[in-house]
Amino acid sequence: MEILLINHSLYTGGVETLIVRMANWLVRNGHGCSILLRDSFEGDLTNMLDSKVNLRVVVNQWDLLAIPGIGHLLWNHWRLPKPEAVYTLEQNWAVVGLLVRDLFAQSPPAVATGAYHLNQFAYERAPLKWGRIALFKQEIYDHHYRDSQKFFMSEETRTGHENFFKRSLQDGWVWPLPIEIPNLEPLVIRNPVPYQILSIGRLTLFKTYSWYMVPILYSLKKKHPNVCWHVYGFGISERELVDDVWSDAIRDGLIIFHGPIAYREIHSAFKRASVFIGMGTTLLEAAAAGVPCIPAVVDDMEAVTWGFIDQMPYFSLGETIPGLEPNKKVENFLDKIFLSSPAQTEEIISAGREYVNAYSSDQLMGNFLAHLNGLGRGHRLSPMIRIRYLWIRFTKLILNFMLSFKRRGMGPERHPGGDRLLH
């Protein structure tokens, strides 16, 4: 099967690492895979793609896909094979998936779009002037994709979209994030540093463990003087955390902030960690690599958890499920790890690795292809939708140009990946 994946970039993040895993699995299992990106950045994940993956960074060219005739010329220019299915990651690109589908009028590919944050549409930071753009994205997602073409990474993500659109999305498909499960004995390859806590993830408001960990560290230090939290990441909250929330703990040696980490270096960080706290894809990968894992919870300031990762409800990566809310204290489970014997630690690690087997790429990617095969092609976009798309893209270009002058007074730009709501 020939699959086309569409996204903004492959700058390090949960969705981007998912794209790499999906693409590599597809070409290594006899399928074709192409990736269309709007941008590329220094330090992104492109060097981790299998050489058989067709990668194209198209900058703003795909806006012209909305103009009949020009789209075919661009497709030939990009030298990409005709897809049998188009999958967009993040709903921002849902309209582009439809434009690509409509290039092939005789036998259009199947099309689907994935949701990887429960508040994808509600969590908007764009200026008010961009309100019409946000409404257009919502309209395309809600009305131009059938619900069966909407994929959700968890039941909580689907529920978040139901709450936003105020209707049932039960025909949408919950498809958990696939990960590679290393076939290695975890205690053989690891060399953990005692009392080293590790977190890897975007520094953003909904990942509230970045805030509540400071008092926990000072409390743990009374019993475990060598405790230290190693943090890798970047995001819109980085400056607030480093310069304010974490400043005293950094000065006291309780926090070491490393900034961004290249994906290929993540397993080296796993090897040194006594315990991992966080959410999203990296939480699963840490458990698969043999790190004891404590799942954090979205928008939680009470510092609660379900326990170790094997006690977290399946196919939740930090979102809560009504009736299954966490009620155990993060600090207690960190203390439990530090006091565990080697045999007890091995039991915790083994339970975590067994838990993440349900996220195996071989199983979940097979389900993904089977579901794509069952999707219909849908209807072509109307000329009016295409005109609105071009007008909105032009308006946003002008607004970006105007806002760039304001940004020049805001200090140096942070990491180019921005804060794109990724796990």
Distance in angstroms (rounded) separating the CA atoms of residues 156 and 260:
28
pLDDT tens track, the chain, 423 positions: 999 999 988 887 778 889 999 999 999 999 999 999 988 877 788 888 999 999 999 887 888 888 888 988 999 899 999 999 999 987 778 899 999 999 998 889 999 999 888 777 765 444 445 567 778 888 899 999 999 999 998 888 898 899 889 999 999 999 988 888 876 654 456 789 999 999 999 898 889 999 999 999 999 999 999 999 999 998 889 999 999 999 999 999 999 999 988 888 888 999 999 999 999 889 999 999 999 999 999 889 999 999 999 999 887 777 777 777 889 999 999 999 999 999 999 999 999 999 998 888 988 999 999 999 888 766 788 888 888 888 887 877 777 677 665 544 444 333 333 333 233
- Going from the C-alpha of 228 to that of each of 29, 179, 275, 313, 346, the distances in angstroms are 42, 28, 11, 28, 22
Distance in angstroms (rounded) separating the CA atoms of residues 272 and 270:
5
Question: In one letter, which amino acid is 282?
Answer: T
Look over the chain and give the mean of its residue pLDDT values, rounded to a whole number: 86
pLDDT attached to residue 137: 85
Question: For the chain, where do the domains classified as CATH 3.40.50.2000 start and end?
Answer: 186-359
Query: For the domain bounded by 2-178+366-407, which CATH number is listed?
Result: 3.40.50
Q: What does pTM read for this prediction? A: 0.79
pLDDT attached to residue 237: 92
Q: Tell me how crowded residue 274 is: count the other CB atoms within 10 A of its CB.
A: 21
- Going from the C-alpha of 358 to that of each of 11, 76, 278, 299, 315, the distances in angstroms are 27, 40, 19, 26, 9
Closest C-alpha to 97, from 292, 375, 415, 422: 375
Going by their DSSP bridges, the two strands 228-232 and 293-295 should be labelled as unpaired
Query: Residue 392 in contact with residue 132, Cβ under 8 Å?
Result: yes
Q: Tell me how crowded residue 194 is: count the other CB atoms within 10 A of its CB.
A: 10
Both tokens of 10, joined, read: 């492959």
Tens digit of each residue's pLDDT (9 = 90 or more) over 143-179? 999 999 999 988 888 988 998 899 999 999 999 888 8
Distance in angstroms (rounded) separating the CA atoms of residues 290 and 357:
12
pLDDT attached to residue 130: 56
Secondary structure in 3-state letters for the chain: CEEEEEECCCCCCHHHHHHHHHHHHHHHCCCEEEEEECCCCCCCCHHHCCCCCEEEECCCHHHHHHCCCHHHHHHHHHCCCCCCEEEEECHHHHHHHHHHHCCCCCCCCEEEEEECCCCCCCCCCCCHHHHHHHHHHHHHHHHHCCHHHEEECCHHHHHHHHHHHCCCCCCCEECCCCECCCCCCHHHHCCCCCCEEEEECCCCCCCCHHHHHHHHHHHHHCCCCCCEEEEECCCCCHHHHHHHHCHHHHHCCCEEEEECCCHHHHHHHHHHCCEEEECCHHHHHHHHCCCCEEECCCCCCCCEECCCHHHCCCCCCCCCCCCCCCCEEHHHHHHHHHHCCHHHHHHHHHHHHHHHHHHEHHHHHHHHHHHHHCCCCCCCCCHHHHHHHHHHHHHHHHHHHHHHHHHCCCCCCCCCCCCCCCC
Tens digit of each residue's pLDDT (9 = 90 or more) over 33-62? 999 998 887 778 888 899 999 999 988 788
| CATH topology for the 186-359 domain | Rossmann fold (3.40.50)
